[in-house]
Amino acid sequence: MRPLPDFLPGRNSRKWHGRRIWDPIGYQRVHGLEHPVSASKATWLAGYLAIHRWADEPTRSQIDAAAIAAKSFAHLKRRPRQTDEAFTSRQDKSWDVVLDALDTYLRAFQLHHLKQVSEAGASGLEVDRKLDQLRE
């Protein structure tokens, strides 16, 4: 199992009660996408990402990259004479590409969200610290 990025709250964190409203993709990442999934789940993920692809979002290229990676995973087929172990290894590597793209998007999305909170004057020391960490 691939660990969650450190900028996302853990699976059992109380923060998800409010956060899943403004970060539904992050919620899905934490609560159901840590393991390689079936092709149908990857197809669902690509569609889910497309639904959450807002027109004015500055992180559009990252969400598009995650959707493309999910579609690629969904279309992954066993090669002729490929062993089960080799195919499983290919699947794992392909799923890592999906999670890398998704985590890149989620980091950019959170940074954008924290900037908006800061610009609205609703930030405090904790928001400013998180912004500095994400920029590193």
Q: Is residue 3 part of a domain?
A: no
- 70 is in which domain, residue-wise? 16-135
The model carries a pTM of 0.81
- Number of structural domains found in the chain: 1
Query: Of 9, 77, 72, which Cα lies nearest the Cα of 17?
Result: 9
What would the pLDDT profile of 53-78 be if each residue is shown by its tens digit?
Answer: 876 677 888 999 999 999 999 999 99
Give the CA distances from residue 134 to residues 60, 100, 110, in Å, rounded to whole numbers and listed in that order: 18, 16, 8
5 φ, ψ to 5°?
-65, 150
| Average pLDDT for the chain | 84
Q: Is residue 91 part of a domain?
A: yes
Q: Is residue 10 part of a domain?
A: no
Q: Is residue 7 part of a domain?
A: no
Q: Mean pLDDT over residues 69-88, rounded? A: 92
**DSSP code of residue 10:** P
Residues in CB range of 7: below 8 A, 6 or more apart: 106, 107, 110, 130, 133, 134
Residue identified by tokens 């969400």 is 63
Q: Is residue 102 part of a domain?
A: yes
Half-sphere exposure of 135 (CA within 13 A, CB side): 8
